[in-house]
Amino acid sequence: MLTAAAPPAAAAGLTQVTGFGSNPGNLAMYEYAPAGLAAGAPLVIAMHGCVQSASDYHSHSGWAQFADSYGFAVVYPQTNSTNNSLSCFRWFDPAQSTRGKGEALSVKQMIDKAVAQYGSDTSRIFITGLSAGGGQAANLLADYPDVFAGGSIASGLPAQCATAQAAASGCQNSSQGLTPAQWGAKVRNSYPGYSGPYPRVAIWQGSADTTVKPVNGTELRDQWTDVWGLSQTASSTRSLTGGTTLSSYDDAGGRPAVELYSISGMAHGLAVDPGSGTGQCGSTGSYYLDTICSTYYTAAFWGLDGPGDGDGGAALPAPAGLTVSGTTGSTASLSWSAVTGAASYGVYRGGTRVGSTTGTSYTDTGLAGGTSYSYTVAAVDSAGASGTASGPVTATTTGSVPKCYTTDNYHQVAAGRAHQSGGYTYANGSEQNMGLYNLFVTHTLKETSAGSYVIADTGC
């Protein structure tokens, strides 16, 4: 789905691995791990886009930087022009994209090889991909929900969107007109009879993407919220750097299960943010676009920087008594009870770590006025291991209440709060699918920032 561009020279520390299995998908396996990686570390699978390579993705995406910082291994599957003339992963071919077959099985064999090599924690295996790699990553999340704890799809496609190459362009360019339940069924049918938990999924989509149209981000959201049994109305929204709007869809425990990152004005590619500041990563290049470090936020969403789901053992207990001690128009102050053995505490807003402190209070800053935020806190021991996260609390900043507008889809478009494509209506900024473009479907839209709206039918 990308057009030709020469990849850079091989990146430092990237190693090819052979003999990882029968390899029915005819893929190559490359890997990177920091020196002295301890057993029990997480494992990330990172899949490149068309006309790219493992080396290209390793060099630009920032995954090596966070592998070093947080301590995990990365496997980069690589396809070739023999498989596909543009070196695209074949996300549109059931012989390559279904459980136990083709490329899907080759990637599973790479995972088994890496787990044996590194002693990886099999409860913390994650997958991410760009463009065609994102489409195949979505398929693998559906094929192997028993393998992956989480995924991230950048400028990609919903799982099993196309089942023939002739249908691929239709998925890329237009809505498929499916309900969330129909999208969810494609995931459930990828592994019939599976009754375990599904992976947590982050979705990254540029609003100016003409290669994989923004509707794919909406349909990915519809698919994975349905799989989780969640509403397609966001639990919370907030603005991030690079013109990014984050819409979170929380599970019953208040933890984000699906996140949609909509990047205003970004074309087709992976979002990076070169620099040495906190939360910056990557380098620019063809289809590596300077907006926001998607890798940083994805790693935080997966919990690679802090507490995961928790697997018992000697982990510190959750802090008790988390309360909101005060708010202003741009801050929220929290306090909690001390945990014996804690050297510090990590503070999480909407599932993303926003700070740490050695005390039992913290003030989060730079917030939007009149907005609700969900917080949890986890204790950290002297070795840097995070314990179980607390239950969530909600802090609502003071100030102006967000503006809300209720009318039919036709008049939402006419007022400049939404736009229509292919007969459907999409909220500006969040790109949420509002249904048919007509006078009969009515929604409430909440303005989250200038020119950006989310559906707020359940309350504003």
Arithmetic mean of pLDDT over the chain: 89
Q: What are 351's two structure tokens? A: 């599932």
Q: What is the pLDDT of residues 291-307, one digit of tens each?
A: 999 999 999 999 998 64
> CA 129, CA 79: separation in Å to the nearest integer?
13
| Confidence check: pLDDT of 338 > 90 | yes
356 flagged as catalytic:
no
| Confidence check: pLDDT of 312 > 80 | no
More confident residue, 352 or 146: 146
> Which has the minimum average pLDDT: 108-112, 292-296, 399-403?
399-403
Pick the CATH number of 15-302 from 2.40.100.20, 3.30.428.10, 3.40.50.1820, 3.40.109.10: 3.40.50.1820
Decide: helix, strand or coil at residue 184.
Answer: helix
> CA 132, CA 87: separation in Å to the nearest integer?
9
Q: Are 28 and 21 in contact (CB under 8 A)?
A: no
Count of helices and strands (H, E) across the chain: 10, 26
- What pLDDT was estimated at residue 5? 33
Q: What is the pLDDT of residues 31-43, one digit of tens each?
A: 999 988 888 899 9
> CA 3, CA 25: separation in Å to the nearest integer?
23
> CA 250, CA 259: separation in Å to the nearest integer?
9
| Confidence check: pLDDT of 6 > 50 | no
Q: What is the pLDDT of residues 83-99, one digit of tens each?
A: 999 999 999 999 999 99
- Read off the pLDDT of each residue in 303-321 and give the average, rounded to a whole number: 63
Q: Which of 142, 201, 213, 137 is nearest to 175 (CA)?
A: 213
Confidence of residue 417 (pLDDT cuts 50, 70, 90): very high
Q: For the chain, what are the domain ranges?
A: 15-302, 323-396, 404-455
Residue of 97, 131, 155, 239 marked active site: 131
Q: What are 306's two structure tokens? A: 């802090």
Half-sphere exposure of 336 (CA within 13 A, CB side): 30
> Which has the minimum average pLDDT: 136-145, 252-261, 308-317?
308-317
- Read off the pLDDT of each residue in 347-356 and give the average, rounded to a whole number: 78
Q: What are 169's two structure tokens? A: 């362009």
CA distances from 288 to 172, 188, 268, 326 (A): 19, 32, 9, 40
* pTM for the model: 0.68
State which H helix or E strand residue 378 sits in.
Answer: strand 372-380
- According to DSSP, the β-strands at 125-130 and 150-154 are parallel
Q: Are 154 and 270 in contact (CB under 8 A)?
A: yes
- What pLDDT was estimated at residue 311? 33
Give buried/exposed letters for 79-89 (b at 16+ CB in 10 A, else e): beeebbebbbb
Query: In sequence order, what are the residues at sequence separation of 6 or more whose Cβ sits closer than 8 angstroms to the Cβ of residue 343?
Result: 358, 380, 381, 382
- What pLDDT was estimated at residue 391? 78
Q: Are 455 and 425 in contact (CB under 8 A)?
A: no
Please name every residue paired with 316 in a beta bridge, in sequence order, or none if there are none. Answer: none
- What pLDDT was estimated at residue 10? 36
Phi and psi torsions of 124, nearest 5°: -130, 60
Query: What DSSP designation does 295 have?
Result: H
Q: What is the pLDDT of residues 362-379, one digit of tens each?
A: 999 988 888 888 888 888
Task: Count Cβ atoms within 10 A of the Cβ of residue 457 and give its class: 0-12 exposed, 13-18 middle, 19 or more buried.
Answer: middle
Decide: helix, strand or coil at residue 377.
Answer: strand
- What pLDDT was estimated at residue 175? 93
Q: What is the pLDDT of residues 166-205, one digit of tens each?
A: 899 999 999 999 999 999 999 999 999 898 899 999 999 9
Q: Looking at the domain 323-396, which fold is it? A: Immunoglobulin-like (2.60.40)
- What pLDDT was estimated at residue 114? 95
CA distances from 184 to 38, 234, 326, 363 (A): 37, 17, 40, 39
Q: Are 263 and 204 in contact (CB under 8 A)?
A: yes
> CA 81, CA 50: separation in Å to the nearest integer?
10
| Confidence check: pLDDT of 261 > 60 | yes
Q: Which of 262, 45, 38 is nearest to 152 (CA)?
A: 45
